[in-house]
Amino acid sequence: MTIAPPARLEGLPEYVTRRPGGFYRSTNPSTKLAIAALEVVAAFLVPGWPGPIAVLAAVLVTAAAARRLRGLATIGLAASPIVGSILIINLFLLPGASDPIVRLGPLAPTWTGLWFGLQTVARLYAFSAAIALVYLTTEIDDLLADLARRGLGRRAVFVVGAAVQMVPRTIERAAEIVDAQRARGMDTEGRFWRRARGVVPLAAPVVFGALTEVEERTIALEARAFSAPGRQTLLRVPPDRVADRALRWAAVLALVAIVGLRIAGRFG
Amino acid sequence: MDLLKRWAARQFTTRVIVLMPVAIAINIVLGATVQQALKLPIYLDSIGTILVGVLAGPLAGALTGILANLIWGYLLPAPIGTSTIGPFFITAGVIGLLAGIWGQLGLFRPRRGGRASILAASIAVVLVGALALYTYARAYASPDQFVNITGFKTTDFDRSRIFFLAVMVVYVVLVGVALYLRRDVGAVLAIGAGLVTGIVAAIVSAPIAAIVYGGVTGSGTDALVAAFRAGGDSLYQATLKQGLLSDPMDKMITSFVVFFVIGSLSRRFVARFPNGEKAIGANTEAEIGANAASPG
Amino acid sequence: MAIELSAVSYRYAGASRPALQSVELRLEPGRVLGVVGANDSGKTTLCLVASGFAPKVVGGRLDGSVRIDGAETAAIPPHSLAQHCGLLFQNAATQLSNTTSTVFEEVGFGPCNLGLAVPEVIERVWWAMRSVGIEDLAPRDPARLSGGQGQLVALAAVLALRPRYLLLDEPTSELDPAGTALVADALARVAAETGTGIMIVEHKTDVLARIADEVVVLDGGSVAMSGAAAAVLADPRLAKLGVEPPARVRLERAVRTAGLEWSPGLERALA
């Protein structure tokens, strides 16, 4: 082979090894997962207000320090329909509640209902925020790489990674198909029956288009030695510092403690 | 144990690994658009899960469903990502598991044919109809009987009777359409499997909705839950009823679509999947030869 | 040291007639073999069979013997096949692994799958990218490349496994003339400088006229003609077999039909 090796061969290029910076963003992804798991468990298993409030406080503080408050707010806003539903339903329709705030004809919102509704909402916000924080401070590639380092098989990594990349592409393709169908006169507004008839010409090409690629993709993967035995080499691995590991273990222990306390009925 | 590991490994060939992200993407894209387009509680967000289950087996189907939910709920940004679907990954896993079992039993196999099989189909429908009528007669013989069997309250007697009949009507309509379009008797079994899947899905989802979200999901069906609770139902009963109203329909239609999709794919393509032979009723074992690449 | 097909017949599972019949073929390192034929003449199947991926990954039944460097492909597992034969298809997008965010990692996907040490992976990636000429694409996102660039990345990704043979199935069919030229140049360079044996299926006979040493014509799954590239591509029977001859050949015929002389001077003027 007459191709000469390049001048610098020291290591991986900077665009592969570059780490995200910033508070919490540089924390190891598995640690962040462990913390999120702890927060979700705490929000649900610690009864009453302390659980959700503590978790929400922790998440908000972390998000502020990591400069991700706006992302959190967007996600919180997206949850408003369900929050509204929960509040309204519990306010007016909690069975067995008999301490009305005010009587408005047949409707009687109750204090118990309000209390219960607010608690449910707090729990919902707490657990959603805990998970959202991981999403907002972690690249999916880094998360998958870290899990792969800990033993997650290459096939699982592929499935999750490829699925996340494929969703926007499938949506683009679906949009193209809708446009093409509209150009051919498909009605996307209008009466129900016509819309129902329109579903198949939309869904079918999307499904079939995606499926026909499966064969070629399979061969292409095999042609890249995808089914080779043993562990694959990882080029992009997030660091796992002592602090990350300590934090992770602490979170797991706390999680176990909460579960244990709840089972033992120590939470009153 | 070793047998179990081999059964598991057999379901995850490279081809299946390639299919899964495609199926997950289909789930998410259709789930995000169909309900908006039709404005009905029909999501078709299990199409990919059931497809993988039938073609590849229960484990692959279950995993597809679980991952689809988790990715849709937690790894995709809004507006595609939705905040409420995540905890229902258990339901999605069960749906995939069931689909794998139906696939193993050959319930999604096309059974085309001439007059003889139309006759067989009609007989099958009559039998199923008879079974349904029998269940109906027993459960609804009297209000007390109804309460004993289903655990619901006497006030639900009339309303659920109508709904039961509605479900049967939808079933017959879907089967009829399949028979008309494709003369395919297999639709009877496939859509029946969808009905069972829908019922099980509703039963599994109810406690999740109740515990995590207090019974609401921010969609239009919350009004139904509210109405049920106003009628005095407990949280579990209300969410279960709401689920039973939408899941069987959705899963029957989804199974109908999956059945059609599998029937429309080339035999060559389907045969290379682990459960493919059962899905197309192939006796071309010899021709399929060295089946898809073994897992790494 | 060659890929040898002897009396090879192949039938897809569930197909009524064989896709390949009694094919004899030999691909040697350092040579470029062109394969032409009408649609459905078995060209894609030939690539799959010669690389061993049919029937191993694709199913179906194979009669006859396919040997890569002396070893029967039936006895070689797919990840080893990938290290003997690189396989490239028309659609660059379906050949992406969809798991990487830079071209560097995409090209490294194969070596990483093999579990090679990081320094070796790095060396192979740079070597492959240099062979194809895409070092400046290294930090780019593989999903956002043009068709031609995507094919080059796929080519590099396959080369990173250091196969001795390269089998390409219509790699330029979805590319515009600029992309086609890009890929053809890269292939010519790879053939000249790395000693890889290349088998390229193409409709665009101009590409073959430029880079192929020998050409084989397939018709209905069997070999109808074979020989030196220039001779086969100028053969008058080509059109009847559903293959359009290269532009130069068509031009020469047009000139002769018009009653003019075809001279080297004219050829140079028109080139």
- Is residue C257 in some structural domain? no
Min CA distance, A241 vs chain C (Å)? 21
Query: Tens of pLDDT along A33-61?
Result: 999 999 988 888 888 888 889 899 999 99
Contact criterion met (CB below 8 Å) for A91 and A117: yes
Within a 10 A sphere around the Cβ of B181, how many other Cβ atoms?
10
Closest residue in A to C81 (Cα–Cα): A223
Residue C243 lies in a domain: no
Give the residue-averaged pLDDT of B160-172.
74
Q: Say whether both A164 and A259 belong to one domain.
A: no
pLDDT of B280 higher than 50: yes
Domain count, chain A: 2
For residue B291, is it within any domain?
no
pLDDT in tens, B98-127: 999 999 888 888 777 666 666 776 777 777
Q: How confident is the model at residue B79 (pLDDT cuts 50, 70, 90)?
A: low
pLDDT tens digits, residue range C175-197? 888 888 888 888 888 888 888 89
What's the mean per-residue pLDDT of chain B? 77
Who contacts C142 (Cβ-Cβ below 8 Å, separation ≥6)? C96, C100, C101, C102, C103, C106, C150, C153
Percent of chain B's residues with pLDDT above 90? 18
pLDDT mean over A215-236: 90
B96 pLDDT above the threshold of 90 = yes
CATH number at residue C22: 3.40.50.300
Check CB contact of A140 with chain C, cutoff 8 Å.
Answer: no
Q: In terms of pLDDT, which residue wins out, B253 or A96? A: B253
Average pLDDT (C228-241) is 85
Whether residue A99 is found in the same domain as residue A31: yes
A195 inside domain = yes
At residue B200, the 3 state secondary structure works out as helix
Residue A3 pLDDT exceeds 50: no
Nearest residue to B242 (alpha-carbon basis) of B254, B232, B229: B229
Q: How many domains does chain B have?
A: 1
Per mean pLDDT, which range of B23-37, B50-64, C214-228 is the poorest? B23-37
Say if residue A20's pLDDT is above 80: no
> What range defines the domain where residue C217 resides?
3-229
User: Considering only CB atoms, which chain B residues are within 8 Å of C78?
Assistant: 293
- Judged on CB neighbours under 10 Å (0-12, 13-18, 19+), A223 is buried
Is residue B49 situated within a structural domain? yes
Q: Residue B296: its pLDDT value, please?
A: 28
A 219-238 near C (Cβ less than 8 A):
219-236
Contacts of A20 in chain C (CB under 8 A): none
**Residue spans of beta strands (DSSP E) within chain B:** none
**Tokens in use for C35?**
């394969």
Does residue A108 share a domain with residue A197?
no
In a domain, A29, yes or no: yes
Would the CA dihedral through A73, A74, A75, A79 be positive or negative? Answer: positive
Q: Which helix (H) or strand (E) holds C14?
A: none
Per DSSP, C99 falls in state S
The pLDDT value recorded for residue B277 is: 76
Would residue A129 count as lying in a domain? yes
pLDDT of residue A265: 79
Mean pLDDT, residues B56-65 taken together: 94
- Both A110 and A38 in one domain: the answer is yes
Query: Do A110 and A183 reside in the same domain of the chain?
Result: no
Examine residue C237 and state whether it is found in any structural domain, yes or no. Answer: no
The pLDDT-based confidence of B33 (bands split at 50, 70, 90) is confident
Q: At B83, is the pLDDT very low, low, confident or very high (cuts 50, 70, 90)? A: low
| C59 has pLDDT over 70 | yes
Kindly state whether residue B35 falls inside one of the protein's structural domains: yes
CB contact under 8 A, A155 and B12: yes
Q: Please count the CA atoms within 13 angstroms of the CA of B34 that sit on its side-chain side.
A: 25
Q: Residue B143 domain-assigned?
A: yes
Closest by CA position to B65, among listed B80, B83, B81, B45: B45
Across B8-23, average pLDDT = 90
B75/A164 CB distance under 8 A: yes
- Complex ipTM: 0.87
Do A127 and A160 have their domain in common? no
Q: Would you say the C-alpha torsion C244, C245, C247, C253 has a positive or negative sign? A: negative
Q: What is the pLDDT of residue B17?
A: 94
Please indicate, yes or no, whether residues A246 and A115 belong to a single structural domain of this protein: yes
Distance CA B160, CA A137 (A): 48
Question: Domain residues for B126?
Answer: 2-286
Prediction pTM value: 0.85
Decide if B293 is inside a domain.
no
Which of A154, A161, A232 lies nearest to residue C98, judging by beta carbons?
Answer: A161
Residue A186 structural domain: 152-222
pLDDT of residue A1: 38
Question: Does A180 lie in the same domain as A121?
Answer: no
Q: What is the pLDDT of residue B290?
A: 39
pLDDT for residue B295: 32
Locate the chain B residue with the closest alpha carbon to C97: B18
Q: Which chain B residue has the Cα nearest residue C54?
A: B290
CA distance linking residue C252 with residue C240, whole number of Å? 18
Determine which of B64-78, B147-161, C90-104 has the lowest per-residue pLDDT on average. Answer: B147-161
The total domain count for chain C is 1
- Sign of the Cα torsion B140, B145, B146, B149 reads negative
Q: Tens digit of pLDDT for each residue in C89-144? A: 888 888 988 888 899 999 999 999 999 999 999 999 999 998 888 999 999 999 88
